[in-house]
């Protein structure tokens, strides 16, 4: 199946259904979201500001609110989620909202947090622009989303199994953003002082089939529009699990799954923020600061 719109990479209707289903037994599968939310909120400790009104975009089981519980840097927190069941289980004010079509007024929030939600957005630059719009001037955006290195082991195992048994490949693992593009996306969306970094979280599973079951229960399985719609052949599934175990098992016999997490940090522009100096406006010569003789651009410098 080919999408008529090249911007529609992910099947958002299926995502909503999977999130509704995942919410029924979320506590049993919330460990990854809980870990990522905790790491994201820790980054607020480096910001000496009080944020009166914040938004948790993609709240799931309230993991960000729980991580914020002992911190006084955030006042009121509004939760939003694509799934109604997740919004209903929130511990405070919550709305059902699509990350691709934010229903909030301009310049409403001092802080927007989002953990493990934006990697399913089709137009990430467009969503980042919307986030910038709902932030007050000098408001902060902190986001965490899965990156391109996520589940590379599963990708390799399925590619080998499908080549061997089916004679071809299908999109099995969703394409996510790379770190090298992340800060550029923030800049394109109009954020000031953009910063992006990544961390890898390795999770051990009994076997590859247990990993696949967990991804399904979390609502994090393949959502590529052009994925095969037929049920995966049993022989292909078992061969992929076998190859995964052969290639990525630990001495204990358990297998490792890697989740690359991209952390995004950007501010809504404000006149008080530091700005780069204009070329030629420096008050001190670089050569003086380095204690070295100054060389003009036309002189050849000999190596000692």
pLDDT at 283: 62
| pLDDT tops 80 at residue 196 | yes
| pLDDT tops 60 at residue 298 | no
CB neighbour list of residue 17: distance below 8 Å, 6 or more residues apart: none
Confidence of residue 211 (pLDDT cuts 50, 70, 90): very high
Structure confidence by residue, pLDDT tens digits, 146-189 = 999 999 999 999 999 988 876 665 655 566 888 988 889 999 99
User: Measured between alpha carbons, how far is residue 140 from residues 121, 149, 295 in Å?
Assistant: 20, 26, 42
| pLDDT tops 80 at residue 201 | yes
pLDDT at 297: 47
| Torsion of the alpha carbons at 264, 32, 156 and 244, rounded to the nearest 10 | 160
CB neighbour list of residue 108: distance below 8 Å, 6 or more residues apart: 53, 134, 136
| pLDDT tops 90 at residue 141 | yes
Average pLDDT over residues 27-50: 95
State the sign of the Cα–Cα–Cα–Cα dihedral 50, 58, 196, 191: negative
pLDDT at 7: 63
Using alpha carbons, select from 85, 120, 80, 114 the residue that is nearest to residue 97: 80
> Whole-number mean pLDDT of the chain?
87
Using alpha carbons, select from 38, 32, 115, 39 the residue that is nearest to residue 80: 115
pTM for this model (two decimals):
0.85
Beta bridge partners of 257: 203
Tokens of 154: 């599963």
Structure confidence by residue, pLDDT tens digits, 94-132 = 999 999 999 999 999 999 999 999 999 999 999 999 999
pLDDT at 194: 95
Rounded to an integer, what distance in angstroms lies between the CA atom of residue 78 and that of residue 50?
16
Min mean pLDDT across 54-68, 112-126, 210-224 is at 210-224
Confidence of residue 276 (pLDDT cuts 50, 70, 90): low
| pLDDT tops 60 at residue 2 | no
Q: Which of 89-98, 170-179, 268-277 has the highest mean pLDDT?
A: 89-98
CB-based burial, 127-141: b 16+ in 10 Å, e otherwise = bbebbbbbbbeebbb
pLDDT at 41: 97
pLDDT at 49: 93
CB neighbour list of residue 6: distance below 8 Å, 6 or more residues apart: none
SS (H, E, C) 268-281: CCCCCCCCCCCCCC
Tokens of 212: 């696949």
| pLDDT tops 70 at residue 213 | yes
């Amino acid at each position: 199946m080919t999408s008529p719109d090249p911007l529609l990479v992910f099947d958002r209707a299926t995502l909503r259904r999977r999130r509704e289903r995942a919410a029924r037994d979320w506590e049993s599968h919330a460990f990854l979201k809980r870990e990522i939310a905790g790491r994201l909120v820790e980054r607020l400790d480096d910001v000496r500001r009080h944020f009166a009104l914040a938004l948790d975009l993609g709240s799931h089981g309230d993991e960000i609110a729980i991580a914020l519980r002992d911190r006084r840097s955030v006042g009121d927190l509004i939760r939003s989620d694509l799934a109604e069941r997740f919004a209903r289980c929130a511990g405070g004010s919550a709305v059902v909202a699509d990350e691709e079509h934010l229903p909030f007024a301009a310049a409403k929030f001092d802080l927007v947090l989002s953990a493990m939600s934006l990697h399913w957005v089709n137009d990430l630059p467009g969503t980042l622009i919307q986030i910038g719009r709902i932030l007050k001037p000098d408001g902060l955006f902190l986001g965490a989303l899965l990156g391109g290195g996520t589940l590379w082991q599963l990708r390799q195992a399925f590619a080998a199994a499908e080549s061997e048994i089916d004679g071809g490949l299908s999109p099995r693992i969703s394409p996510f953003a790379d770190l090298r593009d992340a800060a550029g996306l923030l800049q394109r969306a109009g954020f000031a002082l953009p910063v992006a970094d990544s961390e890898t979280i390795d999770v051990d599973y009994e076997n590859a089939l247990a990993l696949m079951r967990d991804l399904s229960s979390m609502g994090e399985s393949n959502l590529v529009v052009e994925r095969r719609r037929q049920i995966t052949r049993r022989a292909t599934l078992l061969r992929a699990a076998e190859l995964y175990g052969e290639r990525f098992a630990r001495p204990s016999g358990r297998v490792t799954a890697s989740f690359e997490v991209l952390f995004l940090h950007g501010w809504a522009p404000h006149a008080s923020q530091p700005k780069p100096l204009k070329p030629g406006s420096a008050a001190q010569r670089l050569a003086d600061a380095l204690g070295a003789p100054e060389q003009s651009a036309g002189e050849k410098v000999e190596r000692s």
